[in-house]
Structure 1
Amino acid sequence: MQILKIDPRALNANPDDIRQSKSSPPADALLLATVKAVGIIQPPVVSQQADGGNGYLIQAGHRRVRAAIEAGLDEIEVVVSDAATDNGAMRSMVENIAREPLNPVDQWRGIERLVGLGWTEEAVAVALSLPVRQIRKLRLLANVLPVMLDQMAKGDMPNEQQLRTIAAASLEDQKEVWKANKPKKGDTASWWQIANGLSKTRMYARDASFGDDLREAYGIEWADDLFGSADQDNRFTTNVEAFLGAQQEWMTNNLPKKGAIVEVNNWGQPELPKKAERVYGKPGKGDVTGLYLDRDGKVQSVHYRMPETKPAKGQTATSDGADVADDSATAKQRPDVTQKGLDMIGDFRTDALHDALARAPIEDDMLMALLVLAFAGLNVRVDSGAGGALYGGARFGRHAARLFTEDGRLSFDMDTVRVTARAALIDVLSCRRGMSNSGLVSRIAGEAIGADTYLPNMGDEDFLACLSRQALELAAADAGVDPKARVRDTRSALVDHFAGDASLVHPSALFAPDPQEIMALLRHAEISEEDEDAGLTQKEDAEGAAADDAPEGDLDDRETAYGIAAE
């Protein structure tokens, strides 16, 4: 056996070659690209012509010879072997049946070796005639747990999305999930279940409205999605809470002149204020622009229109917007702030309170006190048994669950407690009028942490339209704006004044409650406690009477009547 260099065109095809079917074009293209890039790695096997001629007959490597000719190679190395009695038929059969393509894990190991030798991913892709995406997919295996690699080497591969999810997880997380989902000997792995156990919600940088300042403030670090489209920003983070917090703060800081932050329902759709009419076309001058976060955490906008305020009974509206008394009825004095205005104040307070809870400096003792206070709010309901899951289950998953380890042990640091406590307070405390109102305790909490400084500018048309003439003129006097003869003109002057650097926070929107309200709340709590104590005393008396009525002689019966168990 010897090795020669010979022109591939001088080699003759073996008529007894077992592979008579044409190979696929992609396979031929792959072989040609490899030959062009690195030459022929394994020399073809040839033998002298059986008829005594000077030519050589190909025993193994017909496709390699054809690829060398197509690549324009003048010489290739060949292994000269003795001619077989069957003209190489059995050798050809064995070679083609026994040859097995590399499994993905071995392909990855080969690619990593080439990269270590200085090959780029693009160069490897060209040499192997594979997409760069496929090379990058295989390189994800570097982040996979070794025992999972062993399973994949058997040909049991996850799909691309599952592989991406697995590779993005830490080795510790992979170890735990694999331990719970390890297949039995001879079975395939349930990759979808493994990937589901390791999946984390991603928030993409392309959906972020905030800049680097808020990103750094919230500690957001971007990671690259190697399989995203090449024409878009594929950076992402799994720190969902920080991402949404930065988005929320950006919305608060970038509200349009006639804008508001609206909440969303369970389907991620905006919940407009009561009686609001959504505007689907171009918004008008008096329409409101609402900002909200969709399910992907992206800032979206919606326009809506509030119905015009009807004149009060006994009043008629003039063309200039002023209310004039109707001679047919006695005009009632208008309150300083309308019901709509009180609704807006409730929203303003809630947003300011939540901003303060998220960002204001709060000492640990104050944070604990606020937690105790929050659960005394009017909107908080605590049930025991199965019914509690309806109210507390969601909050447990969002907050309390962060205080546990993966194996169910209570373990946390103070930083985690502080973050979850703030988030829980944001969920519980609210000043919004209606079912979500926490009552007086939310205002007490807001005053304690300085939430007044987070209140927005109320000097816009929407809110000022909710004020009476007297309240408007007081606001104008405080702002140094001369009141006008017509209410509309006074309001317009205030809108212009507060459109600049000046800001209006109406006194009725401040958090500090009247001390008398607090004293009334404390008195009510004392009365409720006395009533509860009285109820317990009555219950104890009834239980005692039941025990006295129990038949004597049987100790177990008497103990049952008292509600105790025999030791």
Structure 2
Amino acid sequence: MQIVKVDPRALKENPDRMRQSKSSPQADALMLATIKAVGIVQPPVVAPEPDGGNGYIIDAGHRRVRLAIAAGLEEIDILVVDAANDNGAMRSMVENSVREPLNPVDQWRGIERLVALGWTEEAIAVALALPVRQIRKLRLLANVLPAMLEQMALGDMPNEQQLRVIAAAGKVDQKEVWKAHKPKKGDTAPWWQIANALTKKRMYAKDASFGDDLAQAYGIEWVEDLFAPADQDGRYTTNVEGFMGAQHEWMTSNLPKRGAIVEINSWGQPELPKKASQVYGKPSKSDHTAIYLDRDGKVQTVHYRMPEAAKPKGIAGDEPVTGGDDADTIVTSKARPDVTQKGHDMIGDFRTDALHDALGRAPIEDDMLMALLVLAFAGQNVRVESGADGTFYGGKRFSRHVVGLFDKHGKLAFDQDTLRVAVRSVLIDVLSCRRGMSNSGMISRIAGDAIGADEFLPNMGSEDFLLCLSRQALEASCTEASIQPRQKVRETRAALIEHFATQHFVHPAGRFAPPADELLDWIRAGAATDVIGSAGHEDDDGDGASVDEEQDGPADEDAEQVDLQGVNVDADDEHDQDFDQRAAA
């Protein structure tokens, strides 16, 4: 063997190489960046041309040679070996089969070694074609207990969220938790239990109304969350008591005129004074302001109105005072408004009926319909249990999505891109598959199936998820992955985890498309509710039927309801046609 320098363009490709498929553009970009930064670290292996040729044929390193040419290198080092009888086929097979990428722990150790040699994080990022943020994330492993690192080096890694929690905890806490949850030899660590035991309530700087002076006074030290999105302030503190104290002091110092600090009830809503009514529109000068801390420690503000005080005796509307020392004083009431409160209530009813008629019958362009749908969610009557960010009212949340739909004169004017972004944002806030109150139900699954959201599901082949599957479900997954089930459930699960470490696994129960029978039942239930609900309205069909003519209605309704509930798909043509017609309209 010998190492020589040659022009990479003079090397010839081996037709018997094992790796024939093309590498991904991302992988090529990574290697090209490293070659430009530090050159070729491992020389390609070549053999002399057979039959006495003067050139060299590549045994291993075709991609390195190709990208060295792309990097503009005039010469590279190559390792010359004796020609093999099989044209290097076995060497190529072994070289490509045994190669394995570094696990995150080894990557971190390598990065720390480079830092000790004087490399900066920025230079390492350039050489490895990785974001600086990723380098800093890997360096968080320096905060992990060595015993945990040894477990991670075996390939048993926590997910990103769990690693973030572990790295943020102190070594003393980590040691105690690891002692309680350390796995037996050969087993995987229960990272979710470890992370849960180390989890502490976080209060974020982006939610703080106070400044650095109060933060220092209350002993608050901000910690940078390197796992947070790059465009957000990810600083946080676990000093919950200090954070809440600083927020309270800020509220006291910044209390507005006619303002008061109030507490929240068990539902997270502000406890207003008795007989107070919350103001949802623009407050008047005589209204009061209540400020409070929500469950996340954010300062929130609401306005409320107290009932008017009763008039003193002796004053009766427009009548003058006729007795007492102030008999000469004329007391007049406020001028009567142009429209009374009852009149405004009537106007509200008139407008609503007209709006609904126009929405049902007036010609509206598709773009305008989409814009109006976004606007509807910004209304004060909208309350959403969102899977994105807790509970919120439409006017306080969705208004940020509709700002871009107006011109400087306050008229609806928008381009397709702005509208598209607004619609996507509203759908993200509203649709949710999370279990509990925020679940959108069948709607969210239909939406996910329609837009191909299955492609965005994460790999479910993790220990955390597979622990949730029964033996039958695990064996079914084995059949799908062409894996032989083991005698013990634990061994079967371990085999699946090993297999899915390099394969993307989505359990059938996790896919968006709902079962056809459930979907049809849901559609039919909506149609039945529409038919049955309208049957009780007088003259809904516009045929002028009187009350007397509909005396037989209840019996007919019952019969129709039973028929709708008991009918099968093929026999339900009449109702399906009725539903299709309404949907088309």
- Residues 453-478 of structure 1: CA deviation (Å, up to 9, x unaligned): xxxxxxxxxxxxxxxxxxxxxxxxxx
CA distance in 2, matches of 1:119, 1:148: 27
- Residues 85-127 of structure 1: CA deviation (Å, up to 9, x unaligned): 1111111111111111111111111111112222222222221
Alignment CA distance shift 1:181-1:316 (3 Å): farther
Q: Secondary structure at the match of 1:57?
A: strand
Q: Secondary structure at the match of 1:96?
A: helix
- Alignment of 1:239 with 2:269, yes or no, is no
CA distance in 1, matches of 2:31, 2:320: 84
Moved more, 208-217 or 39-48: 208-217
Compute the displacement of 1:268 (Å). Answer: 2.3
Compute the displacement of 1:216 (Å). Answer: 2.3
Name the residue aligned to 1:547: none
Q: How does 1:419-430 map to 2 (within 5 A)?
A: none
- Residues 284-313 of structure 1: CA deviation (Å, up to 9, x unaligned): 01100111011121111000101112247x
Name the residue aligned to 1:176: 176
Q: Secondary structure at the match of 1:69?
A: helix
Alignment CA distance shift 1:319-1:293 (3 Å): farther
TM-score (norm 1): 0.55
CA distance in 2, matches of 1:250, 1:47: 75
Q: How does 1:213-224 map to 2 (within 5 A)?
A: 213-224=213-224
CA distance in 2, matches of 1:63, 1:213: 57
Q: How does 1:33-182 map to 2 (within 5 A)?
A: 33-182=33-182
Alignment CA distance shift 1:78-1:320 (3 Å): farther
- Alignment of 1:285 with 2:285, yes or no, is yes
Higher relative contact order (CA 8 A, sep 6+): 1
RMSD: 2.1
Q: How does 1:332-343 map to 2 (within 5 A)?
A: none
Q: How does 1:495-534 map to 2 (within 5 A)?
A: none
CA distance in 2, matches of 1:56, 1:17: 14
Compute the displacement of 1:317 (Å). Answer: 6.0
Q: Secondary structure at the match of 2:53?
A: coil
- Alpha-carbon contact 1:4-1:78 (below 8 Å) kept: yes
CA distance in 2, matches of 1:299, 1:319: 45
CA distance in 2, matches of 1:286, 1:320: 26
Compute the displacement of 1:181 (Å). Answer: 1.5
Q: How does 1:151-550 map to 2 (within 5 A)?
A: 151-311=151-311, 316=315
Alignment CA distance shift 1:289-1:197 (3 Å): same
Compute the displacement of 1:315 (Å). Answer: 5.8
- Residues 238-265 of structure 1: CA deviation (Å, up to 9, x unaligned): 1100110111111112111110011101
CA distance in 1, matches of 2:2, 2:318: 109
Alignment CA distance shift 1:319-1:218 (3 Å): farther
Compute the displacement of 1:6 (Å). Answer: 0.2
CA distance in 2, matches of 1:317, 1:289: 32
Compute the displacement of 1:218 (Å). Answer: 1.5
Alignment CA distance shift 1:267-1:320 (3 Å): farther
Give the letter aligned to residue 203 of structure 1.
M
Give the letter aligned to residue 258 of structure 1.
R
Alignment CA distance shift 1:320-1:29 (3 Å): farther
Give the letter aligned to residue 201 of structure 1.
K
Q: Unpaired runs of 5+ in structure 2?
A: 325-585
- Residues 141-200 of structure 1: CA deviation (Å, up to 9, x unaligned): 110011111111121111111111100100110111111112222222221211111111
Q: Secondary structure at the match of 1:295?
A: coil
- Alpha-carbon contact 1:291-1:300 (below 8 Å) kept: yes
- Alpha-carbon contact 1:137-1:160 (below 8 Å) kept: no
Compute the displacement of 1:208 (Å). Answer: 1.6
Q: Unpaired runs of 5+ in structure 1?
A: 326-567
Q: Secondary structure at the match of 2:186?
A: coil
TM-score (norm 2): 0.53
Name the residue aligned to 1:24: 24
- Alpha-carbon contact 1:7-1:74 (below 8 Å) kept: yes
Alignment CA distance shift 1:84-1:288 (3 Å): same
Paired-residue identity, %: 76
CA distance in 2, matches of 1:41, 1:317: 98
Q: Secondary structure at the match of 2:309?
A: coil
CA distance in 2, matches of 1:102, 1:321: 94
Q: Secondary structure at the match of 2:179?
A: helix
CA distance in 2, matches of 1:184, 1:270: 50
Name the residue aligned to 1:518: none
CA distance in 2, matches of 1:210, 1:180: 39
- Residues 472-528 of structure 1: CA deviation (Å, up to 9, x unaligned): xxxxxxxxxxxxxxxxxxxxxxxxxxxxxxxxxxxxxxxxxxxxxxxxxxxxxxxxx
CA distance in 2, matches of 1:320, 1:276: 30
